[in-house]
Amino acid sequence: MGKPSSRSGTFKEGLAAVSATGHSRLGVNVDHVATVRNARGGAHPDPVRAALLAAEAGADGITAHLREDRRHISDGDIERLMSQLRVPLNLEMAATDEMLKIALKYKPHAVCLVPEKREERTTEGGLDVAGQHNHLAPYVRELVGAGIRVSLFIEAELSQLDASKSLGAPVVELHTGLYCETPVGPAREKQLKRLEVAAAHAAKIGLECHAGHGLGFDTVEPIAAIPTLAELNIGHFLVGEAIFVGFAPAIARMRAIMDAARAGLST
C-alpha cells in the first residue's frame, strides 16, 4: 500500500517501491473478524480493534471487503477504519454505483475492484477485465481521478494484465486461490509458474503487482519470493490461526515467512 503519493506505476517505480522496503507489504484482511461479530449481531469481536492490533503486529496495511449484502464489514466499520487507522486502507469492492459513491465519500488509500456474486461464499475468480472493459472503465477513471490507488483483482493471465494496463489501473492483484487449492506436486508448481510469469509481465508493462486469496503459512513462501510482488493480502487464514496462537503472533509469523522468502531463506 505504501505512501499514497506515487500514482504513475512505472516498472522502475514499482521495483523501487518493493526494494526500498526490502519486503513485500502485508495487507491484513479483517473481514472474518466481522463475520464472527455478525454471527451474534453485537459489537464483539471488533474488526477495527483487530485492524489496529494487526498494524501494531507488523501489517503494512489493512484490507476490508464491503460486500453488497454487508455479510462481514459494514459501512460503519469503514468509517471507523478511515478515522482510526494510521496505516493505509485497501477497500475491496464490486464495480457498482453504490460502492463507487462510498469509495468517493471515504477516499481510502486504495480500492481493489473485485467480481462479486451474491451466492458465492468468497470471491471465486478474478475480474474479466478484458471482457468487461466498457463496464469497468468509468469506475477506474473516477477512482483514479479522486486520487485513489486502484487495483484490479484478476486471474494470472497475460490478456487480463494487458487489459488492466489499457484501462489505466496502476495496480493488479493476482488471484492465488487456485494455486492454494491445488495439491502439492507438479500441478501446484504449474500454478506457481503461472503466477510468476504474470508477476513478471506486470512489471514489464509497468503495473504494480499484488497477490492474495487463500494464502497461509504453507503456501505463502514461494509467492512472497516472487521479486516483483509488492504486496500480499491475507485474511481468512490469519483470523483462523488467531484462535490457536493469537492474532499478533499469527501476523508476526506470516511477516517472518514473507521476509525470509524475499531474502532467499527457507523457514
- Which residues are marked as active site? 65, 92, 213
Burial tier of 12 (Cβ tally within 10 Å: 0-12, 13-18, 19+): exposed
Footprint of ligand PXP on 143-162 (CB under 6 A): 153
Q: Which CB, 3 or 121, lies closer to ligand PXP? A: 121
How far is residue 48's CA from residue 208's CA, in Å, rounded to a whole number?
27
Q: Cβ 96 to ligand PXP, closest distance in Å?
A: 15
214 binds ligand PXP (CB under 6 A): yes
Nearest to 231 by CA among 201, 256, 211: 211
Minimum distance of ligand PXP from residue 12's CB (angstroms): 26
- 206 or 214, CB closer to ligand PXP? 214
- Please state, in angstroms and rounded to a whole number, the distance separating the CA atoms of residues 192 and 163: 22
Choosing from 4, 236, 252, 260, the residue that interacts with ligand PXP (CB under 6 A) is 236
DSSP one-letter code for 234: E
Question: Using the rule CB under 6 A, is 65 a contact of ligand PXP?
Answer: yes
**Residue 235 interacts with ligand PXP (CB under 6 A)?**
yes
Q: How many whole angstroms from its chain centre is CA 130?
A: 20
CA 203 to chain centre: 17
Q: Does 115 bind ligand PXP (CB under 6 A)?
A: no
| C-alpha to C-alpha distance for 151 and 170, rounded to whole angstroms | 7
Size of the site for ligand PXP (CB under 6 A): 19
Decide whether 186 or 230 has the Cβ nearer to ligand PXP.
230
Q: Contact with ligand PXP (CB under 6 A): which of 91, 110, 161, 234?
A: 234
Calculate the alpha carbon distances from 169 to 4, 112, 144, 145 in Å.
Answer: 15, 10, 8, 11
Member of 87, 95, 112, 261 binding ligand PXP (CB under 6 A): 112
What grid cell was written down for 254?
Answer: 506470516
Q: Which of residues 20 and 119 has its CB atom nearest to ligand PXP in the complex?
A: 119
Alpha helices in the chain, H assignment, sequence order: 11-21, 31-40, 47-56, 75-84, 97-106, 133-145, 158-167, 177-181, 186-204, 220-224, 236-245, 247-262
Cα–Cα distance, 186 to 182 (Å, whole number)? 9
Nearer of residues 96 and 122 to ligand PXP, judged by Cβ? 122
Among 37, 201, 213, 262, binds ligand PXP (CB under 6 A): 213
Span near ligand PXP by CB under 6 A; candidates 6-14, 95-103, 184-192, 211-219: 211-219
Any contact of residue 233 with ligand PXP (CB under 6 A)?
yes
Strand partners, 62: 28, 89
The residue ranges that bind ligand PXP (CB under 6 A) are 29, 31, 65, 92, 112, 114, 122-123, 153, 173, 212-215, 233-237
